[in-house]
Structures are given as structure tokens and as C-alpha cells.
Structure 1
Amino acid sequence: MSAADNPGPLVEPTGSLSPRELERYARHLSLPGIGVEGQSRLRAASALVIGAGGLGAPVLHYLAAAGIGSITIIDDDMVEASNLQRQVLHRDADIGRAKVASARDALLRLDPELEVTTIGERLSPDNALELFDSHDVVLDGADNFATRYLSNDAAELTGTPLIWGTIFRFSGQVSTFVPEHGPMLRDLFPDIPEADSVPNCAEGGVLGVLCGTVGSAMATEAVKLICGIGTPLIGRLLRYDALEADYSTLRFSPDPDREPIIDLAEVAVACAAARPGPDGFGTRQDGAEGPGGENEVSVEEYRAESSPVLLIDVRAEWERQISSIPGSIHLPLSVLQVEGWSAVDTVAAHQPFEVVLHCKSGARSAQAVRLLKDGAPESVRLRSLVGGIDAWSASGSETV
């Protein structure tokens, strides 16, 4: 086995296992390659898990169950009802709580002796290098491109092994990146995609049980790296299609022409463009500070409008069944992508007016504004409602 196949155990084993640990991890102790020594390595290891959501939930659950000694969870999100279909760490009673707090409670219920550290913020260029440098392995369950590339670059700069996973609708991918022991994410996907080039889970949907499949594969990779067993997914991209029950593997190599990562400057720009607005809702697509940009309108500004405004809801029909803004007209983004401005023109009766588009948090409506600008008359002003219906509800405004 070459160094590229397995870089060897990540950590030295601790001392002897306690009687409690010998009983708890008995099924590991009889496994070739793990045994008492491998279990001691797991107890000595520290893991940083980025995200306590769809992928983070099974990753955290299985790392804790496997006997990882120290786990740090970083996530700035709150538990919502729509999370519970796939984020199995959280319960109905946790809705409204910080995900890191809910996840910590769940892990300590599983193993009261586990050392859990929580960070209720996003991974950023300001904290990434220190966090990566202080952990043996990092597992990235982030849901946006900027954070994924930040993780890759921080791993490359600190030499920290990184396990990466992604899910979309019915498919998922997993790979393992170990600096100096094989290719990295940028060898496979060199450039950071645009923030809205692929719909997120809220827009495109995701099969709940898929998270368990992909997250479990990520946790398996961590155990293999820590114990130095098996063949990790270094230089290989594992692809899973749940509908076809099909696994495939894509092999890839380091790009000899790729420039090495020397700092976080490039990814810092992507992270700034993808961060939430100051109201905590939505995603800034243009990197501007705060609402009020040329193509945006805040809830307060919208409510203060004196001239007639056509409010268009670009969400899916099932989302409107949960709640909608009074007076809004439904034109799903999928329709606008096919019909363009003509779909709006039909409901507008060819009159010049102001148009405000909204979705759940602002990302899809911002995309709709850019989509419609080419076909709209110059007399029409197109804007996206910052924060969408989430910001509308948070302001105390009525929904139906």
C-alpha cells in the first residue's frame, strides 16, 4: 500500500482503556486493525465537524458512538421544523434552539464522557486556520461552496486531513483530502462556483435518508484515517445515486499546473459574498453591506412604498400552503426560468410598474431578478425582498 493509499494512523494511542470503555467498544476491539490500540487512537483523537445539519448530524452521531475523544461542532444556524426530516440529532422540542446546543445535548446523551466544544458561528477566514490546526481531522458538512473551498484551503495550509461530503436531491459524493498524500478539492474542482449555480436543499430538496448514507461514509473515512486502516478515499470521489442504488468511484490526481494555496485571500471574497445580510436572513449575492442595494428592498422599505407594487412569490406551491404574504401572486422560479418575463407580463396586463419578488430567504428571488432583467421593459423596476418571507414574518407582518 502506498502513502497515497493510506497516510498511516493520525494519532498516537492513549493509555489503557477503562473497564467502561472495554465494555462499550467491545465490538471494535475484536476487529482486525482496530483492537485495543485502534480504539485508544480513537479516544485520543480530536475532530472538527463543520455543520450540525443534514450531513453533520449523522457524522456527529457516529463519531461519538465510535469513541472519538474530543469533538468540536461549528454552526451558526437554529433548528427549524423543516430540518427534522433529515437532521436526526435534533428533536421537535429543539426547534428554535441553536443547532450546536441541540447537537451537544444529543452527543452527551450518547456518551456523557465525550468532550464536546461548540462554536455558534460560521467557519470563516478569521477562525479557520486556528481551528484546523488544533484538530486531528476535519469533516466538512457545509451546505455552500464558499465554506467548502475555505475548508480545502485551510486544510492545505495547515496540513490537516479533510473529509468532504455533499448531497443534492437523490445523490451524494464523498472524498478524503490529505495534504501531501494525494490530490485536494481544487485538483478536482479548481474554481469556486457561483453561489447560486446549484440550488440549495430548500430550493432543490433532498432525500432525508440520503444524509445518513453520505454522513456515515464520511464518519467511516475518519475512523479509517485515525486508526490507519483500509484504503481511504484519497484521490477518489465516491458517488452515490439513491434512486438507482448505484455506487461509482471517480479517480483523480493532483494537477501539476495548479498554483499552491498560499493564503485565504481568494476564498475570503467568496465567503464575504455568501454571508447572511445584517438582518440574519438570506444571502447577499453581490457582497454589498446590508439591504437597500439597487436590486433589493427591505421589508420596511417595501411596506413604506406609496406607489403600486406587484409582489411575486417565486417559491414552490407547497411552500405557499404553509404561509404566504397577503396580496402576493404566485409565479414559481421554475416557471420564470422557462417563460422569463412573458410570465410576469401576462399577470401584469402590460402595465409599467414596480415588481418585488420574494422567496423564503432571498436567494431564489435574487436569482429571479437577474433572470428577468434581460426581458423586462426599462420602465419596470425589479427588486428582491431581502430575507424573503422569513424576514417578513420576523418583522411581525401578517401572513396567510
Structure 2
Amino acid sequence: MSRYSRHIILKDIGIDGQNKLNQAKVLVIGAGGLGCPVLQYLAAAGIGHIGIIDFDIVEESNLQRQILYGTSNLGQQKAIAAKQRLSDLNNTITVEAFTEALTPQNALHYFSNYDIIVDGTDNFETRYLINDAAILTNKPIVYGAIYKFEGQVSVFNYNNGPSYRCLFPNPPSENDIPNCSEVGVLGILPGIIGTMQANEVIKIILGFKNVLSGKLYCYNSKTTQTFTIDIKKSTTEFEKVKSKRDYFEEQYYSKTCNLTVKEITIDEALQKENILFIDVRELNELPKANRLHHIKIPLSTIKQELHSIDKTKTIIMFCKSGMRSKKAVSILQEQDITNCYSIKNGITAIENYFKIHV
């Protein structure tokens, strides 16, 4: 009664409403800029069971906007660090941390154990994966996205409403919409958008009207302007997803997003022969991959530098997270250079490897 007294005295929530919050199960995918405020406010609100999926570690550049973490968390798994912080914020709830990437092989299993899915990711392949898994398990998605100074919020697959594919049936081309590590983002923006996502989660649990289903709410932090776009449901898009149910786990979502690339782990890469490692990050990006013999060709110049790449070697590219290196591989493939790979999880995976094999 003391912890949730400000909720309970609201006649639209009361004890019954607070009990609904305490009994709810919410899975948050991504404990980054969007996931941090979502997790913090859901934990504070008393959501009884919270799951966190994130395979990344805390880096110094995260601290500008990922408010669950501090300097003492650098190098820790985000999901674990987030769980520790949330457990301290509210020790009456259950928090589960899953330190792995969401994949077609595990998505249906995870989704089946939760009531609501929160999309806090920053890449298109995972968004389409979340959408399809939610349709197959009949779970609502609370969606958020950020770009520089602008953000979006919506709720998909809720009460027979439209899905993410109804809004974006076709993935963007390979050079469209880079992620935050490439173009930057205002640190406050994910806090605003993530908090709005948390608000939509609570509205769904409490059964409030005017949930953002069938609507895309857009916000500009520079101008403080907002507008809303109506989203129409496409039965065709739902049927496409459902038709692939039997072989869902065999799907490869990078191909769905026009990124027909071969990914390998750093362990697999180092086992190959005649290797050429290429760092496609910008020249000033940190951390440096000093323990890995490589050359640097930024993605922004790779088309102009194709002549400098030794095509007789096995070409293995990496970046910060694996997104830009997949784009780089696709550029080479367009030039009929097929002996090329992208390292899964980029420099993070490389650093983790050399920490273990020092």
C-alpha cells in the first residue's frame, strides 16, 4: 500500500488496477536507449514479472542516454546490469535477464511466456522478427523508434489491430536509415520515447481506451511538434506471416531486410585461412581493434576503395554492432565478390574474444 499509494488513490487504477500491474508479464527486447526508461518505469510501477533480452555490454558511449547504467557497469552485460538496478529499485517484483540475441529459434518460446512485448531495438531485421513472432503468439507489441532528434511510438497487433508490416510492408534499402552509432542521437530523446512506451504498456494492462493501436505518434524534440499517422490493417500481411508458421525457425531475417549476407562469429573467422579483416567503422571510432591484424576502410568510402581490397583473400568485415559490416558485405556481393563475411556483434564480440584468449 505504501509503495503504490499514488497509484491506488487514482480512482482509474485503485487496488484492482495495481493488482493487474503486479500480475502482468512484460518482455522488453533491448536494454539500450529505449529499453532503459521503459524498464525503469515499469519496475517502479510494479509490473510483477519483467523479462530483459539483450546480448550487448555496457560501453562508455552508452552512458549519454542509457540511464540504468553508470561507470561501474562498464564492460558488464546490459541485461545483468539492468536486472541488478531494477531489483534495487523494486525488490517486490521478478526480473529475468536473458543475455542473448533474439532469434527465430528462441522468439516463440520467449514470447509465449509474456503478456506484452516491448520493442526497444535499433535495427530492422529484429523489428520484423518481433512482429512476426508476436503475430504467431498473438501478443501485442509496444513499438518505439528514434532517429537523431525524432521519435515514434505505436502499438501493434493489439485487439485485432494492424501490425508493423502493415505500416512498413517493405524493408528499407541497404543504405537507408543508419543506426544511432552512425548518425548520433539526442540523449534525452530515447528517454521521452521510452517513457511513452512504458505509458502504453500500462494503458494496455489497465484496459484504458485510446491505446496507440492503428496510430503512429511522431515527436520532434527540436521543435516540440507532434503529429499522428493513421495505420490501416493489411490482412494480407498477417496471412503472409501465418503461412510461414511451420518453418518460422528456419527463416533468416537478414535476408528479409535485403541484407543477404553471411555472418560468422569471431571464433569462426579466426579459423579460416588467408584472411583479410576490414574495419568499416569511421576512422575516429573507438575502441580500436589493436589485437586484430586488419585494415580500415570506412563504409562511407568502400565503393571507392574496392580496388584496394585483395579479392583472393577471405574478406571478413566488422563494425560496432554488425549492421554496417553487413551493408559492406552486400556492396561487395553486388560486385560479384562472394568470399566475404560479417562478424556477428562486431567490435564487442572481438573485444570479448581477446579478453578470454589473452
Please tell me the TM-score bracket, short chain as reference: 0.7 to 0.9
| Structure 2 counterpart of 1:97, one-letter code | Q
Output the CA distance in 2 between the equivalents of 1:155 and 1:179. 10
Aligned to 1:135, the other structure's residue is in SS state coil
Output the CA distance in 1 between the equivalents of 2:29 and 2:86. 15
- 1:152 aligns to 2:137 (yes or no): no
Q: Which residue of 2 aligns with 1:15?
A: none
Q: Cα distance 1:226–1:361, how it changes in 2: closer, same or farther (>3 A)?
A: closer
Note the C-alpha offset of 1:393.
Answer: 4.9
Output the CA distance in 2 between the equivalents of 1:373 and 1:155. 32
- 1:367 aligns to 2:332 (yes or no): no
| Structure 2 counterpart of 1:78, one-letter code | I
Q: Cα distance 1:248–1:384, how it changes in 2: closer, same or farther (>3 A)?
A: same
| Contact 2:264/2:341, CA 8 A, preserved across alignment | no
Output the CA distance in 2 between the equivalents of 1:300 and 1:389. 18
Output the CA distance in 1 between the equivalents of 2:334 and 2:262. 22
Task: Find 1:334's aligned residue among 277, 300, 305.
Answer: 300
- 1:316 aligns to 2:291 (yes or no): no
| Contact 1:156/1:179, CA 8 A, preserved across alignment | no
| Structure 1 counterpart of 2:215, one-letter code | R
Give me the TM-score of the superposition, normalised by structure 1.
0.73
- 1:269 aligns to 2:251 (yes or no): yes
Task: Find 1:51's aligned residue among 30, 38, 43.
Answer: 30
Higher mean C-alpha displacement, 46-55 vs 255-264: 255-264
Q: Which residue of 1 aligns with 2:108?
A: 129
Note the C-alpha offset of 1:385.
Answer: 7.1
Note the C-alpha offset of 1:221.
Answer: 0.2
Q: How many residues align?
A: 347
Q: Cα distance 1:298–1:237, how it changes in 2: closer, same or farther (>3 A)?
A: same
Higher mean C-alpha displacement, 327-336 vs 242-251: 327-336
Task: Find 2:84's aligned residue among 84, 88, 105.
Answer: 105
Matches within 5 A, 1:1-400: 22-193=1-172, 197-260=176-239, 261-262=241-242, 263-264=244-245, 265=247, 268-271=250-253, 286-287=261-262, 298=269, 313-319=279-285, 323=288, 325=290, 332-336=298-302, 340-341=303-304, 359-360=319-320, 362-368=322-328, 370-371=330-331, 386=343, 393=351, 396=354
Q: Cα distance 1:250–1:373, how it changes in 2: closer, same or farther (>3 A)?
A: same
Note the C-alpha offset of 1:183.
Answer: 1.2
| Contact 1:362/1:384, CA 8 A, preserved across alignment | no
| Contact 2:254/2:261, CA 8 A, preserved across alignment | no
Runs of 5+ unmatched residues, structure 2: none
* RMSD (CA atoms): 3.6
Note the C-alpha offset of 1:219.
Answer: 0.3
Aligned to 1:62, the other structure's residue is in SS state helix
Provide, for residues 274-333 of structure 1, a one-character-per-residue CA deviation record: whole Å limited to 9, x for no partner. 9xxxxxxxxx952456679xxxx945768x66xxx8x8654234316x536599776543
Note the C-alpha offset of 1:272.
Answer: 6.6
Note the C-alpha offset of 1:391.
Answer: 5.8
| Contact 2:265/2:343, CA 8 A, preserved across alignment | no
Note the C-alpha offset of 1:25.
Answer: 1.8
| Contact 2:125/2:253, CA 8 A, preserved across alignment | yes
| Contact 2:261/2:342, CA 8 A, preserved across alignment | no
Provide, for residues 2-24 of structure 1, a one-character-per-residue CA deviation record: whole Å limited to 9, x for no partner. xxxxxxxxxxxxxxxxxxxx222
Runs of 5+ unmatched residues, structure 1: 1-21, 275-283
Higher mean C-alpha displacement, 156-165 vs 98-107: 156-165
Q: Which residue of 2 aligns with 1:278?
A: none
Note the C-alpha offset of 1:161.
Answer: 1.9
Higher mean C-alpha displacement, 47-56 vs 25-34: 25-34
| Contact 1:298/1:385, CA 8 A, preserved across alignment | no
Note the C-alpha offset of 1:268.
Answer: 4.8
| Contact 2:157/2:163, CA 8 A, preserved across alignment | yes
| Contact 1:145/1:195, CA 8 A, preserved across alignment | no
Note the C-alpha offset of 1:259.
Answer: 4.7
| Structure 2 counterpart of 1:53, one-letter code | G
Higher mean C-alpha displacement, 80-89 vs 207-216: 80-89
| Structure 2 counterpart of 1:169, one-letter code | K
| Contact 1:299/1:386, CA 8 A, preserved across alignment | no
Q: Cα distance 1:76–1:189, how it changes in 2: closer, same or farther (>3 A)?
A: same
Output the CA distance in 2 between the equivalents of 1:358 and 1:37. 51
| Contact 1:64/1:107, CA 8 A, preserved across alignment | yes
| Contact 1:79/1:98, CA 8 A, preserved across alignment | yes
Aligned to 1:27, the other structure's residue is in SS state helix
Q: Cα distance 1:39–1:170, how it changes in 2: closer, same or farther (>3 A)?
A: same
Provide, for residues 18-54 of structure 1, a one-character-per-residue CA deviation record: whole Å limited to 9, x for no partner. xxxx222222223342222222211121111112122
Aligned to 2:196, the other structure's residue is in SS state helix
Output the CA distance in 2 between the equivalents of 1:236 and 1:258. 17
Aligned to 1:318, the other structure's residue is in SS state coil
Output the CA distance in 1 between the equivalents of 2:35 and 2:49. 15
| Structure 1 counterpart of 2:52, one-letter code | I
Q: Cα distance 1:330–1:253, how it changes in 2: closer, same or farther (>3 A)?
A: same
Q: Cα distance 1:270–1:206, how it changes in 2: closer, same or farther (>3 A)?
A: farther
Aligned to 1:49, the other structure's residue is in SS state strand
